[in-house]
Each structure stands twice: as C-alpha cells, then as structure tokens.
Structure 1
C-alpha cells in the first residue's frame, strides 16, 4: 500500500477542482480548509485516478488552541491511501461539515467525535450522543474537561 503525498500532484488537483479549497501538504499529511471538507473528500472519492472510495476512520485531537479532525481514506482498487487533516479554531463551539452524505459509515464516527470531543458536524442527520447518556455535561476527551 502506498501513501499519496504532495509529490503526486494531488494538492494541485484538489485546489483546481474544489472551490474555496486552500490545501497544503506537510509530510504525508494534506491539510484542507474546514469549509471545503465535504467538497474535497467528494472529489477524492469520485476522481477516477485517485478512487479513494473507502473511509477508514475519522478521529479528532484537541491541541488546546485548535481541534484537528483527521480523515483516513483508502482506495480498494488502487491500493493507496491518504491522510487529510483540518483545523477547527472555534474551540468553544467547533463545527465542521459532515461527510455522512458521502459515506453512511461516517455517521457513527462523527457522532462519537461529537460525544467525546464536542465537535458538531453540520448537516449530520442524527447528531446526538452515542457512548454517553443524554444529559451528560461536557465532552470528556477535551483537554478543558474537568468532570
């Protein structure tokens, strides 16, 4: 399995194909703007050459000054993968577009991130807690959580 990197020209393809995308590559990671998440991932999924048709995982990391959302995409047919990251600087009310319209499997992963990290995914069909009970105060994987 190979990792798609900036040397493969993928960032230029993303920026030229997706409106309002300002993507940059750092190491093996590709950073995309939060508002372009859905468009970029849709492009990567539908592009014939890239064919990143499998969502491996979505996760989040709290870096205190921002929350980073990380998407791992894989191409079953091409046997390559890509790591996309976006930073959400709205710490008090982090919101990012949902990709659940592209992959049904994203629904549960986005709900888990909402439940534990407090990141809301706009456009999600069922944004509610999945691991913790309704009425639970806060998001326990946030660094500022005092429980």
Structure 2
C-alpha cells in the first residue's frame, strides 16, 4: 500500500469541540465524546461529513477501574470506529452509557453493518439498542442468564466427573 492510499489518523483540531461534542486525542486519533442525547445527531453529522464506514462497534465496562485516571462518569462506554474513505481519515466515537439505564439508540439506520456488532454488545454487556431490527443474542444461547463481559459476571464452574476418578 503506498502512502497516498493509506488510512491516516489526524490529531484533533485546536478547538475543544467538533460536531458539537467534546474532543480528545488518543495516540494521534481524534476521539469524539457525544452524550446519549446527541449521539444520533452526531452520527448523522459524521455520515454527512463522509464518515460512511463503521469498522467496529464495541463496549467497555469501567466498573473495575476505580483508580483509572480519566475514568468515565458512567459504568459503560460504547465505542465506534468510523472511517472516511473519501478523506482517508479515521475517527473514534465514545459515548457513556449508565448502568441504571443501559440503553442507546441503534446506529443501524446510518450504519447497517452495525447490526451484528450491536447484537454482540447486547449479548455480552446487556446494553440495549433502541430501534434495532433484531436485538437478540448472537453468541450465547437465548436462555442464557447474564452478560459474560460485564466485570461483575460470576465466572462459574461446572464440576466434571472424569471416568475412573475418585468420587
């Protein structure tokens, strides 16, 4: 891949906001922090600004990071990585989601490729995406209790009785 065709990361603009949101920098990549209330409007503005590809959507549970510097105010964060193919630029979106109301509007209407990614976040973290066309478990069985990537998920053991072992 030559230098002209590489996807590049740009440092944030000098202004502390972009797309009406707080902006930070993560190792040279622009990070936008919308609130839940302006999350969809921010995504629409990003699509209009040629960020038409969502390469990743995931979540983070910060409940076990009590001493982390810059820890978000809410337990969860949903993180999207967006790419502008036209400008060869990448941007990250991080939106805080409270534990008491772990819901966020779905990005599916703007980024159809997020359908399975939102289902995975729902399955593993229990964050509900309102307006999602099929919010059902994707990795765990439908009757599974709990969400395995939450920091408070109890890791259980099923005792296995091996043949010939003492009872």
Per the normalisation by structure 2, the TM-score is: 0.75
Task: Indicate the structure with greater helix content.
Answer: 1
Select the structure of larger CA radius of gyration.
Answer: 2
Determine the structure 2 residue equivalent to 1:143: 151
Structure 2 CA distance for partners of 1:108 and 1:55, relative to 1, 3 Å: same
Question: Scaled by the length of structure 1, what TM-score is found?
Answer: 0.84
Counterpart of 2:12 in structure 1 is: 6
What runs of 5+ residues in structure 2 fail to find an aligned partner?
1-6, 64-73, 156-167
CA displacement at 1:144 relative to structure 2: 0.9
Question: Is the Cα–Cα contact under 8 Å of residues 6 and 30 in structure 1 kept in the other structure?
Answer: no
Could you tell me whether the CA contact under 8 Å between 2:16 and 2:22 is conserved in 1?
no
Provide closer, same or farther for how the CA distance between residues 62 and 137 of structure 1 changes in structure 2, counting only shifts above 3 A: same
Structure 1 runs not aligned, ≥5 long? 16-22
Q: What is the aligned-residue RMSD (CA, Å)?
A: 1.7
Q: How many residues align?
A: 135
Listed one character per residue, the Cα deviations across residues 78-127 of structure 1 (whole Å, up to 9, x for unaligned) are 100101101112x1440011010112111110000000011100111111
